[in-house]
Structures are given as C-alpha cells and as structure tokens.
C-alpha cells in the first residue's frame, strides 16, 4: 500500500496533541540518515518503536522523496534527489496519533569519493566476524567512481574477499577490546587477544599506537567503524530499567576508553559508532537459539534502550569527529534474517548494514570534498 508523499516542511508546521493515555512507544530516530544515488536504503518501522506488536500501528511518513510500503519506507535515490530532505513519521493507533518525530535524510552522489585514497578499520563482534558485510562494503567500494581503498586489520577469515580485513570476533564487547590479553592466542580455538592490548612491564595495556605500528605497518585509518553492543548488553535485565541503565553506563565507560585511545593516536580519523542492530522479528528464532532463556521481546527492550542511550551518548559530538551511523534503521527484521537466528542477519540483512555504512562514508567524503573546494 502506497501513501501519498507530502512536503515534510508543511508537516512540521502542524501541531498535534497526544492523549494522556496514549502508549509510550519510545519513537526513536537519529538526527540524520544518509543515502547514496542508486543504492536502495530505508527505514523499517519496527526498528524505530518499542512495541511487541508493530503491526497494530499505522505509520505515516511525510517526505518529498521516497515511498512508504508495508512496514517500511524506502528510497533508491536519483540524481534529482541530491541534497537534504526533511523526513517525519507519525504513528497512529486506530484513529489516534500516539507519536511523531522528525529527522533529515542527506542524499549524496555515488562518486563523492572519486580520486580519494581511503583507509578503513572495522571493529566488531560476530556480525563483523562473519565478514559478509565487510565483503559487501568492499564490493560497493570497488564500483566505478569509488575511492581507492585499504582495509586495516589482523583478522582475515577464509571467507574474506580480496583486500578485506577487520577486527571482528564472535562474542566480543567494548570492554574485551579494551582489556583482554591472551598470552597464547589460538585462532583455530577462537582464543584471541585484543589486537589493541600489549604487555608492558609484564602488564596488559591498551596501546593503539603500537597496534598501528606493528599490525598496520604504521598506517593510520581515515575512518574507524565500531559495530558493538549485542554481547555487551544481551544479559541485561529488561524487567529492571534502572539496572539496565546502570549496565549500559558500564558499557559506555569501556566504549569511551577505547574511543579516547583511538582519538589520541588518530586525531583526524572519523570515528563512526554503529547503532546496535535490531533483533529478528521471529520469537521462534530466539527459541531455536536460546530455548526459554532469552526472548525476542526481552532483547528488543534492551536493544531499543541501548539505541536511545547511544544517540544521547555519541550524538552531537561531530566536533570530536564522532559520528553516529544509523545501522539499525535499514535492517529488515523479517527478510533480513534467517528463520532460526535471533541476532545474526542473512545475506540480505548484512548487505543492508553495508549499505548504511557505505552511505555514511560517502557522506563524509562528500563533506570533505565541499570543504576542499
């Protein structure tokens, strides 16, 4: 079903009131999302609200570009769409508007990075270890009009495409990258030491400068992409909001430690923090993986709160060259997941993650090119 497209500017002038007993669905959006000419991208409505029954709500998008489909707003940008577009969504329960929020879409040319030479480092957990989205990112970066690129990293799984490397390990967290030292690493047994932790005076210490010197032949990245949060927070208690926030506070302490270490050594690098991806829409996938230990609704509550907190913690810090990457918006929680995996996407889902990361990179290259001119 297609909804009419209206100018968001007009919609933003409208005022609305919500009933006092309207459900609080925690409508959550980043301030900015990014698109690239010719590359499909969008917003899955389930990913932006906190409800176990998104099908019970109606979502109406006001935007001069793109179109609304069942459960999703999507766009394959054209040259005529270049620039910034206001985007607003209102959420309706029966005939009552229960929430409304706006953000902006920035559409950039596909060749924004042409003639550039870029160096990337990706840091993550099992989603990165699977290497599907890094491979797809490499495919996008190898298209005509793209920059010359290098991926840094010591981890090159057998599935990695030519030139693809990263620091992605199954089960890892922000804190593990900050502190974990394995004196006898054995990749075959999944015994990894943090690539950023080294012995100094017989004590493990975080040393990003040494990592660049020894593992990257002295190269420093232009962009560092962090996609973490699932393992950090999966065990939090969704039934205790205060304890959940305290848990997230501890995670952010480790995150800030790692980010500060990178900022000190690579002061001009863009540090992109990916918003933690949403769960599979199927409760059956959680039953297949975890039996009755964890539920879809439990993780959904944690993940949604984590995204809210990530936006508050890392948003608005562009002057520090910290950027939020809206990796949670575009991932379809139904078609982007297999039927039997709660948190690991299928190929389509991983490609949707890659599309969001590539769009953010393109936006950064486009901004840099405008400054140079």
Query: Please, what CATH class does the domain formed by 8-108 belong to?
Result: mainly beta
What average pLDDT does the segment 55-64 reach? 97
Tell me the residue length of the chain: 373
Per-residue pLDDT of 113-130, as tens digits, reads 999 999 999 999 999 999
Whole-number pLDDT of residue 1: 41
Topology (CATH) of 117-372? Rossmann fold (3.40.50)
What average pLDDT does the segment 1-26 reach? 52
Whole-number pLDDT of residue 372: 67
C-alpha 247/C-alpha 254 separation (Å) is 11
Q: Which two tokens stand for residue 206?
A: 């975080």
More reliable by pLDDT, 16 or 354: 354
Whole-number pLDDT of residue 9: 36
Mean pLDDT is highest, among 1-5, 172-176, 187-191, 365-369, for: 172-176
CB 33 within 8 A of CB 43: yes
pLDDT at 140 over 80: yes
Of 226, 230, 277, the residue nearest 255 (C-alpha): 226
C-alpha 23/C-alpha 120 separation (Å) is 42
Q: Which two tokens stand for residue 279?
A: 């769960």
Question: Percent of the chain, pLDDT > 70?
Answer: 92
Whole-number pLDDT of residue 14: 38
pTM of the full predicted structure? 0.93
From residue 263, how far is each of 174, 208, 357 by CA, in Å? 15, 10, 20
Residues of the chain with CATH 3.40.50.1110: 117-372
pLDDT band at 19 (very low <50, low <70, confident <90, very high): low
pLDDT at 8 over 50: no
pLDDT band at 17 (very low <50, low <70, confident <90, very high): low
Whole-number pLDDT of residue 255: 98
Average pLDDT over the chain, rounded to an integer: 93
What average pLDDT does the segment 247-271 reach? 98
pLDDT at 65 over 60: yes
Reduced to 3 states (helix: H, G, I; strand: E, B; else coil), residue 83 is: strand
Q: Where are the alpha helices (DSSP H) in the chain?
A: 8-13, 126-129, 132-141, 174-179, 208-215, 230-233, 241-265, 283-290, 296-314, 347-372
pLDDT at 341 over 90: yes
Q: CA triplet 281, 284, 285: central angle to 5 degrees?
A: 70
How buried is 169 (Cβ within 10 angstroms: 0-12 exposed, 13-18 middle, 19+ buried)? buried
pLDDT band at 18 (very low <50, low <70, confident <90, very high): low
Residues of the chain with CATH 2.60.40.10: 8-108
More reliable by pLDDT, 369 or 361: 361
pLDDT band at 16 (very low <50, low <70, confident <90, very high): very low
């Amino acid at each position: 079903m297609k909804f009419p497209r209206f100018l968001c500017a007009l919609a933003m002038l409208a005022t609305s009131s919500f009933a006092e007993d309207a459900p609080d669905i925690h409508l959550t959006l980043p301030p900015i999302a990014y698109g690239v000419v010719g590359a499909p991208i969008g917003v899955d409505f389930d990913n932006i609200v906190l409800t176990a029954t998104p099908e019970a709500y109606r979502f109406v998008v006001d935007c001069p570009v793109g179109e609304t489909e069942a459960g999703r707003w999507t766009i394959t940008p054209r040259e005529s769409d270049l620039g910034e577009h206001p985007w607003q969504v209102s959420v309706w329960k029966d005939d009552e508007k229960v929430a409304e929020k706006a953000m902006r879409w920035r559409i950039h040319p596909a060749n924004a990075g042409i003639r550039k030479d870029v160096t990337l480092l990706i840091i993550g957990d099992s989603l990165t270890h699977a290497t599907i989205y890094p491979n797809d990112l490499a495919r996008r970066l190898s298209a005509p009009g793209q920059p010359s690129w290098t991926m840094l990293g010591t981890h090159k799984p057998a599935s990695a495409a030519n030139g693809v490397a990263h620091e992605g390990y199954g089960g890892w967290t922000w804190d593990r990258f900050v502190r974990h030292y394995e004196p006898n690493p054995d990749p075959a047994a999944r015994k990894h030491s943090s690539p950023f932790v080294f012995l100094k005076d017989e004590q493990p210490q975080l040393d990003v400068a040494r990592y660049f010197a020894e593992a990257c032949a002295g190269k420093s990245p232009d962009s560092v992409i962090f996609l973490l949060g699932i393992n950090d927070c999966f065990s939090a208690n969704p039934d205790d909001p205060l304890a959940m926030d305290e848990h997230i506070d501890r995670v952010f302490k480790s995150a800030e430690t790692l980010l500060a270490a990178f900022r000190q050594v690579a002061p001009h690098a863009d540090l992109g923090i990916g918003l933690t991806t949403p769960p599979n829409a199927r409760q059956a996938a959680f039953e297949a993986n975890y039996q009755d230990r964890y539920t879809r609704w439990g993780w959904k509550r944690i993940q949604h709160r984590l995204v809210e907190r990530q936006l508050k913690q890392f948003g608005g810090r562009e002057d520090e060259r910290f950027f939020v990457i809206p990796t949670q918006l575009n991932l379809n929680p139904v078609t982007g997941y297999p039927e039997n995996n709660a948190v690991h996407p299928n190929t389509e889902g991983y490609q949707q993650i890659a599309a969001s990361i590539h769009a953010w990179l393109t936006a950064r290259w486009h901004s840099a090119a405008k400054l140079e001119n």
